[in-house]
Amino acid sequence: MKEIGEVSPSMKSISKINIGRTNVSVSRFGFGGVFIGDPDEITTDDQAQATLAAAYDGGVRYFDTAPWYGNTKSEHRLGQFLRNKPRQDFAISTKVGRVYSRPADEADFKANSPWAKRWLGGLPFELRFDYTYDGVMRSYEDSLARLGLARVDCLAVHDLDPRHQKSEAGVAAALDQLEQGRGFAALRELKEQGEIGAIGAGINEVGMISRFVERFEMDYFLIASPYNLLEQTALAEDLPLCEEHGIGVVLGAVFASGILASGSRAGAKFRYQAADTAILERVREIDLICQRHGVPLTAAALQFPLHHGAVNCIIPGANHPDQVTANLAAYTTAIPDDLWRELKQQGHLPLEAPTPG
């Protein structure tokens, strides 16, 4: 096992693709910045930097983050790494919708705020949702300062959905802020001025993509849950809608929040919660099929979504260099067509899901 901080001697190449119809070029295997925000365990700064170095040395050239990840910690860590790299060599995306400030009482915030409790190692900053013009611009400028970069390539509206806005009324109000409050106008101005190359939205649930498309001119969606080896609910309407409009898709949560990386074991996470018995059994069955074909479960999970024509790239997260190395190896593992056929025959994938063969 390599020591933390040690990287491979030669950089590998990962194919690139443009996001949607934009000129933003990204590596098809990217890096998701959730886990360097310390959601469930504390990662040292040295380990976080070594993890990013392993990704960069492995050929990764697209990095995604957000102020929400670790209450700004992920942006700080990613910026520390990337601002020492040639700016033309990588693409980076971050998100808007949350504005951060210091809490009036730090001790009370740490003890009682749900935002503090979400991130085990998160930073002590309070947030408010704000999708207005001023809120978007404030969030954008704050992100640049944390990253230490003069620009980002992609900027996405974050967590405008029922889960985070708490109700349909909350979603409607946030959409109105984005439209009537001119939050989307701010994004459009940034793109027209050449400060960003693509406008996106992070989506956790099916049904939101159509609501964005009918009101805004989108370049891409970052889909975080509804399309992976375990769940394909985006296959019916959301992904076809993206194809129809030439909208790119960045695929997060390729491991379904963890269970497709850990396998079927007690405490494994699915959709950010402990997986129930039915999900554990289904993953066990999928894993057994993969084993019969000599394919790691992680390889099938990483490669499956990339066969859909709407999906431009995947962004698995990591908080240790060995995880990155293992994921890159799984990404390049040869998978026989018979594996996909058996998964469909056994009912684990819809027959219409795009796969080789």
Q: What percentage of residues in the chain have a pLDDT greater than 70?
A: 97
CATH of the domain at 298: 3.20.20.100
CA dist list (Å): 10 to 6, 50, 58: 12, 16, 8
CB neighbourhood size of 281 (10 A): 12
Q: Among residues 152, 150, 117, which one has the least CA distance to residue 24? A: 152
CA angle 319, 322, 327 (to 5 degrees): 90
- Specify the range with the lowest mean pLDDT, choosing from 6-10, 52-56, 260-264, 338-342: 6-10
107 within domain boundaries: yes
Beta bridge partners of 69: none
Is the CB of residue 293 less than 8 Å from the CB of residue 303? no
11 within domain boundaries: no
Averaged over 331-350, what is the pLDDT?
Answer: 98
CA dist list (Å): 46 to 4, 26, 37, 319: 8, 26, 13, 11
316 within domain boundaries: yes
Where does 208-247 show beta strands of DSSP type E? 220-223
Residues 6 or more apart in contact with residue 302 via CB below 8 angstroms: 29, 254, 314, 316, 327, 330, 331
pLDDT of residue 193: 98
What is the Cα–Cα distance from 76 to 83, expressed in whole angstroms? 11
pLDDT of residue 246: 98
Q: What percentage of residues in the chain have a pLDDT greater than 90?
A: 93
pLDDT above 60: residue 121 = yes
pLDDT of residue 283: 97
4 within domain boundaries: no
Averaged over 113-136, what is the pLDDT?
Answer: 97
Mean pLDDT over the full length of the chain = 95
Domains of the chain: total: 1
pLDDT above 50: residue 9 = no
46 within domain boundaries: yes
How confident is residue 290, by pLDDT bands cut at 50, 70 and 90?
A: very high
127 within domain boundaries: yes
pLDDT above 70: residue 43 = yes
What is the Cα–Cα distance from 200 to 160, expressed in whole angstroms? 12
37 within domain boundaries: yes
pTM: 0.95
Residues catalogued as catalytic: 64, 69, 95
How confident is residue 13, by pLDDT bands cut at 50, 70 and 90?
A: confident
199 within domain boundaries: yes
pLDDT of residue 12: 57
pLDDT above 90: residue 187 = yes
pLDDT of residue 7: 37
Residue 273, domain extent? 16-345
CA dist list (Å): 79 to 74, 75, 84, 152: 8, 6, 9, 11
